[in-house]
Structure 1
Amino acid sequence: MEQKKKNFNSSPLPFMGQKRKFLKEFKKALNAYSPTATYVDLFGGSGLLSHTVKSIYPDATVIYNDFDNFRERLDNINLTNQLITDLREILKDYPKNKRIEGTYRDSVLNRIKTDNENGYVDFITISSSILFSMKYVLSFEALEKETLYNCVRQSNYDASGYLEGIEVVSSCYKELFDQFKNNSNTIFLVDPPYLSTDSSTYKGYWKLKDYLDVLEVLNGTNYFYFTSNKSSIIELCEWIETKTPMSNPFNGSTTSTMNTTVTYNSGYTDIMIYKVV
């Protein structure tokens, strides 16, 4: 009997900026698009949007631009699971969600150091098990400076079939766009890093110019575009349309929003804009 393919509702590994909260609205909006089209995920991130499209439209061609090399983390998931299993054993008698100190801290760091020197460490995933919520590091040197907490995951990660049937590439989004821009049966998934952010899990620092460059892929194309109210990009495009001869790439599109809470007194609004031409 053929085993049913698992549909993921979130990234199989921790990833900042994944669109799991938007999946319900994203799936609903996909009904307006062709089930046999080519979907090009220009800023692939964790691949969750690509996975979702392929799960709903198995006959679609889905191209995932893995510019941040998320595949490396997926390919080494067994090593990550083994490391977390060992950390779980080290901390089995230690209080949950408490600061890790003394010899326990030494043991945890020594175990991670061994893999760092002899193999591979997915520091983003490991961070989610021994650092305060939403805090990540990318190196052992950075980890040594942090306060550690016992929030070790109690089960293994599983990414079986996550990218099955999806074409994975790694290139500049502009080059990838140029390959498909003249294909009328292409839908672009456009989820760039947030404006003026310097996140350790992204490559580089995104400025206003970078954001405006991305808008060029929206002219005359079918697209899903993700941003937030922090960027003010929608207001900027409205201003450009009224003050200059340029058009607004969001004209004729549909907008969906999702409120995201960061702390008890702060948050922001995620925005999904989509259009069929």
Structure 2
Amino acid sequence: MPVLSAITLYPIKSCAGLSLQQATLTSLGVMSEQIYDREWMVVDNKGMCLTQREHPRMALIKPALKGTTLEVQAPGMLRLEIPLGLPDPATAPTLATQLWDDTVLAYDCDALTAEWFTQAVGVPCRLVRFHANAERPVSTKWTNGVQASTMFSDGYPILVVGAASLEDLNQKLVSAGRDALPMNRFRPNLVIDGIEAFEEDYAESYQIGDALLKPVKPCPRCPMPSIDQATGEFGPDPMDIMQSYRAKPEVEGALCFGMNAILIAGEDQRVRVGQEIEVALAF
């Protein structure tokens, strides 16, 4: 029987994730302690999104939930504590941010937080938080018209990967004389064990308790899987190995790993590692 083998929440886009034993599934993504996946984002002073693609040191920025604050650490720096309570939408400073083709209203951080992230990333930047009045719809091209929203994820609220898919890739890497990769290189929210390699590509739905997830789009991969999440440095890129068997014609030949998903039913369903999953295939 397929089981949920890992849950990861990424409070700050492109920074380190939080491994969880249980979490809440919402239409906006994984949530824990009222903190949503990719609720925060690092931007330059013009509001443009910054990611590990250009700034691999962001992998070393590690958040942790500490009571009423989000505690953030980076090598050689003092800890930063960010209040978890939402700012007052009527008075809090805001910033129009740019994430790919979307302009998204966000709460702007204070000067101390901006300076901390500037030192941690190595370029002038600041931290923003998804605004309470903002909405970022996903592309309905892939959802068959089903309406869904996300925060600062690349495009969809939940990323699902099968554990066997990474095992398959690692077998090919090792056979080529390369090191195996950990799952954190691919930054999924949910990992499913007990299904065949890349079976997630062909799933119609995942039933986890009362939550019903629908995979909608293969996840095209950029160079980020080549970044060692423990060192923040580029290493060997697995894309050449993936080129031989992971190109997807439905996404213009992009190399894909994992499936983007949306929540169809079961808003606020609590899920846990080890929980059984019913996987319905699309054929």
- Whether TM exceeds 0.5 here: the answer is no
Higher helix share: 1
Larger radius of gyration: 1
TM-score normalised by L of structure 1: 0.25
TM-score normalised by L of structure 2: 0.24
Bigger RCO (CA 8 Å, 6+ sep): 2
